[in-house]
């Protein structure tokens, strides 16, 4: 047993390790959950959800826009003013008690939108039962950020059944299993442990092209919740028009920065050139610049690989930080205080 494995036993008090290890199972089971069919036509889709429940909509937006469907993601209390009877509103809340999502549900109902909910329990399920709204039930008992396999693949299957997205075969889920096994702590040359080690006592700054923003956003949120560590993200080409000028001050902050570029292999030639030039321009101003290349053949596969990679990095960074990755004390306190009105 190596030092990381010993420290996992010491600091992973709620066994997040097992949840990460079982991610392929969650994905497969999520994809095989029975989903409702809808007869009513819709012209636009609006995803609502926060935190771990919201990342599903971010990825679905990337996939559905390739099918020429307008997709909007809402992480707030209100829906866009154009939400109407021709809108499909998909409300995701793992707990079923997320107040922002419950409010968007009520607005969607007032606007007579077509509604689909995804939840494990809570007030959202009660509302669906009362209002006769279809709900996809997923298993209880997980931290919401560890329920991504269920939150995402149930919705993906919903669109497969509508003949909008392509079916996934066993080979797809085998890749997820292989990629998960790649980051287990017993494996030598473990890139998850390596990157976590590079991030330790540093402030990660992660860049990708626009289509992989959901993936690097997942890195940011997982590093925040699991590692209790700051992490910043941005996308190219946008950062080239402003943020590239930030690498001067404050000097003490630059000493703590470590930059990671995510390379998908799907970038157009101008983005590839921008990454190379940007890397050269900032390399002499900070301690280290890292690159990771994504595995997979499609955008979905590469996004899944990026998410798996980042989840393990955040877990190992929590262990290096000597902190329980599952505990979210400040979030729990905030929710409790909000109950007071």
Domain span holding position 148:
19-167
Do 202 and 245 share a domain, yes or no?
A: yes
The CATH number covering residue 117 comes to 3.40.50.10490
The residue annotated as part of the active site, out of 40, 41, 130, 241, is 241
On whether residue 2 sits in a domain, the answer given is: no
Residues 271 and 160 in one domain: no
Element containing residue 30 per DSSP (H, E): helix 23-31
Whether 127 and 210 share a structural domain: no
The verdict on 240 and 124 lying in the same domain is no
9 is catalytic: no
Q: What is the pLDDT of residue 339?
A: 86
The rounded percent of the chain whose pLDDT value lies above 90 is 95
Q: How many domains does the chain have?
A: 2
Please give the model's pTM, rounded to 2 decimal places. 0.97
Annotate 181-200 with DSSP letters as a single string: HHT-TTSTT-HHHHHHHHHT
Q: Does some domain include residue 92?
A: yes
In a domain? residue 181? no
> Using one digit for the tens of pLDDT, what is the confidence trace for 56-97?
999 999 999 999 999 999 999 999 999 999 999 999 999 999
Residue 67 in domain: yes
**pLDDT at res. 250:** 97
Same domain, 31 and 109: yes
Q: At which of 118, 136, 167 does a domain end?
A: 167
> pLDDT tens, 155-195?
999 999 999 999 999 999 999 999 999 999 999 899 999 99
Q: According to the model, what pLDDT value does residue 340 have? A: 72
User: Of 106, 134, 167, which residue is a domain's last?
Assistant: 167
Same domain, 126 and 239: no
> Are 95 and 30 part of one and the same domain?
yes
Nearest CA among 91, 159, 94 for reference residue 300: 159
Residue ending a domain, choose from 135, 167, 199: 167
Residues 20/311, Cβ–Cβ less than 8 Å? yes
Select which of 75, 198, 285, 335 is catalytic.
335
Which member of 100, 225, 228, 302 is catalytic?
225
Q: What is the pLDDT of residues 125-156, one digit of tens each?
A: 999 999 999 999 999 999 999 999 999 999 99
Distance of CA 197 to the CA centre of its chain: 22
Q: Is residue 129 part of a domain?
A: yes
Residues 25 and 162 in one domain: yes
188-191 CB contacts, 8 Å cutoff, 24+ apart: 191/292, 191/309
Q: Do the beta carbons of residue 262 and residue 208 sit within 8 Å?
A: yes
User: 149: buried, middle or exposed (CB in 10 Å: 19+, 13-18, 0-12)?
Assistant: buried
Residues 7-41 have pLDDT tens digits of: 999 999 999 999 999 999 999 999 999 999 887 78
Within a domain: 182:
no
Tell me if residue 228 is catalytic: no
List pLDDT tens digits, range 272-287: 999 999 999 999 999 9
Do residues 246 and 209 both lie within one domain? yes
Residues 157, 165: Cα–Cα separation, whole Å: 8
* Same domain membership, residue 206 and residue 162: no
Average pLDDT rounded to a whole number, residues 244-267: 97
The answer, yes or no, to whether residue 268 has pLDDT greater than 80, is yes
Domain assignment present for residue 11? The answer is: no
Do residues 163 and 43 share a domain?
yes
Q: Average pLDDT in the 222-244 region?
A: 98
Position 4 scores a pLDDT of 85
335 is catalytic: yes
What does the pLDDT look like over 302-320, one tens digit per residue? 999 999 999 999 999 999 9
Between CA 118 and CA 268 the distance in angstroms is 35
Residue-level pLDDT at 37: 82
The reply to whether 153 and 231 lie within a common domain is no
Report whether pLDDT(341) > 70. no
3-state secondary structure of 121: coil
User: Average model confidence (pLDDT) for the chain?
Assistant: 96
Residues 185, 100: Cα–Cα separation, whole Å: 37
Determine, yes or no, domain membership for 307: yes
- Judged against a pLDDT cut of 70, whether residue 122 lies above it is answered with yes
pLDDT above 70 covers a percentage of the chain that reads 99
* pLDDT of 1: 57
């Amino acid at each position: 047993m190596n030092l990381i494995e010993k420290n996992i036993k010491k600091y992973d008090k709620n066994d997040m390790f097992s949840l990460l290890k079982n991610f392929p199972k969650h994905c497969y089971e999520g994809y095989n959950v029975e989903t409702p069919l809808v007869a009513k036509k819709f012209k636009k889709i609006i995803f609502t959800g926060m935190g771990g429940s919201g990342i599903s909509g971010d990825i679905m937006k990337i996939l559905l826009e390739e099918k020429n469907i307008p997709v909007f993601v809402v992480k707030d209390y209100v829906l866009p003013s154009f939400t109407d009877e021709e809108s499909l509103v998909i409300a995701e809340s793992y707990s079923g008690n997320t107040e922002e999502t419950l409010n968007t549900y009520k607005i969607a109902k007032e606007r007579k939108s077509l509604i689909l909910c995804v939840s494990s329990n809570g007030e959202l399920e009660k509302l669906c039962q009362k209002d006769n709204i279809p709900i996809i039930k997923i298993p209880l008992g997980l931290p919401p950020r560890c329920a991504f396999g269920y939150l995402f693949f149930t919705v993906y299957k919903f669109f497969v059944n509508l003949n909008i997205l392509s079916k996934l075969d066993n080979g797809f889920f085998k890749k997820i299993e292989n990629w998960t096994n790649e980051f287990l702590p017993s494996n030598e040359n473990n890139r998850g442990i390596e990157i976590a080690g590079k991030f330790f006592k540093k402030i990660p700054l992660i860049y990708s092209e626009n289509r992989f923003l959901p993936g690097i956003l997942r890195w940011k949120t997982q590093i925040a919740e699991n590692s209790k560590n700051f992490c910043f993200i941005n996308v190219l080409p946008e950062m080239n028009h402003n943020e590239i000028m930030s690498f001067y001050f404050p000097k003490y902050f630059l000493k703590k920065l470590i930059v990671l570029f995510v390379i998908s292999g799907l970038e157009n030639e101008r983005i590839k050139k921008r990454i190379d030039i940007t890397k050269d321009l900032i390399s002499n101003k900070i301690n280290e610049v890292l690159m990771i290349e994504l595995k997979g053949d499609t955008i979905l596969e590469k996004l899944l690989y990026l998410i798996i990679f980042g989840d393990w990095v955040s877990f190992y960074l929590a262990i290096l930080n000597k902190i329980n990755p599952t505990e979210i004390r400040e979030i729990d306190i905030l929710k409790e205080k909000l109950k007071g009105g």
